Chain A
């Protein structure tokens, strides 16, 4: 149980693909707890993925219930091991920022609704449907497990308008 420091880009770990958890033992539970502690400690954060605290495992936590945008539509604290998005639909534009990329925000289009499958802290397989901000937060954190930052998804208005013309 510890608050860990957040790795900042260009730390190379942020661009690596995290490994799937094979056995959900106490070391993985400790990672989950560190992620929760780090998320809570940072005050404003609604999610943290393991690579952000220097651990290349497919583990993330999300909790949008304390945020203005997510408080009416959420599953509370989500602790996800080996999460996988099995369905997505709709789209939603948000100006995203990331604790690992300070001082920069960019407009990112993401799915509005997702169905995500994961193993929880107790080792049970869960499937949930997330919408709106919670769905965006899960997609953002899941990208970290694939070595992807929101910078990889930033779209420019100018090019969008340009492309649509063709």
Chain B
């Protein structure tokens, strides 16, 4: 089975998922991992696909043309063998919530600290809420803490950002339990 990453973005309306998955079904593609959501007024789809025979971009022919004609932007990435396999990440799961008056650099400043400390961000969502006069920025990220890094460490890294960005940041560990 060869694998591909497909992304599709376009103005949200009913029928996008149905049109996209209909085409994939007719091609004989398997949808493995996927994440699709409304972001702003756009609907964004990210899918990891498998196909038993297809091995390059050309295999898809002009199957996605109807999507482009429907004003959706389509991008396809051919994955190297093994590129579809999710590596098991060892470590505690840490959630960081950041919120405050909207200003430039909130995502970057937080992500920079995490990256510099070799913390792998596994999920990140942001949303602009509040009113037009008083926009409030909310970011929630999930990260895997490498051995030797604690919730207290992450909290301490956030202290300068709380001060500089004037945002509220909370850090908490989500315990993983086998029941």
Contact A133 B125 (CB under 8 A): no
Dominant secondary structure of chain B at its interface with chain A: strand
Task: Determine, out of A27-35, A73-81, A92-100, the stretch whose residues face the partner at the interface.
Answer: A92-100
Q: Which of chain A's residues have a CB closer than 8 A to the CB of B142? A: 157
Dominant secondary structure of chain A at its interface with chain B: mixed
CA distance A91 to B150 in the complex (A): 23
Contact A137 B179 (CB under 8 A): yes
Nearest A residue to B37 via CB reads A158
Encode contact with A along B98-112: 1 for CB under 8 Å, 0 otherwise.
Answer: 000000000000000
Q: Which of chain A's residues have a CB closer than 8 A to the CB of B123? A: 157
B84 CB to closest chain A CB (Å) equals 15
Q: Which of chain B's residues have a CB closer than 8 A to the CB of A36? A: none
Contact A133 B177 (CB under 8 A): yes
CA distance A99 to B93 in the complex (A): 20
Q: Which of chain A's residues have a CB closer than 8 A to the CB of B174? A: 93-95, 107
Contact B129 A45 (CB under 8 A): no
Is A47 an interface residue when CB atoms closer than 8 A count as contact?
A: yes
Interface size class of A (residues with CB under 8 A): 20 to 34
Q: Specify which of A97, A150, A157 is in contact with B176 (CB 8 Å cutoff).
A: A97
Within 8 A of B (CB), among A25-58: 44-47
Q: Which of chain A's residues have a CB closer than 8 A to the CB of B178? A: 44-46, 97-99
B114 CB to closest chain A CB (Å) equals 17
Nearest B residue to A136 via CB reads B177
CA distance A32 to B166 in the complex (A): 56
B120 CB to closest chain A CB (Å) equals 16
Nearest B residue to A48 via CB reads B179
Within 8 A of A (CB), among B145-179: 174-179
B residues with CB within 8 A of A: 37, 93, 123, 125, 127, 129, 138, 140, 142, 174-179
- What 11 additional pairs, Cβ within 8 angstroms, besides A95-B176, A105-B176? A45-B178, A69-B177, A95-B174, A95-B177, A96-B179, A97-B178, A107-B174, A136-B179, A141-B179, A157-B140, A165-B129
Among all A-B residue pairs, the 5 with the closest Cβ atoms: A140-B179, A95-B176, A97-B178, A95-B174, A94-B175
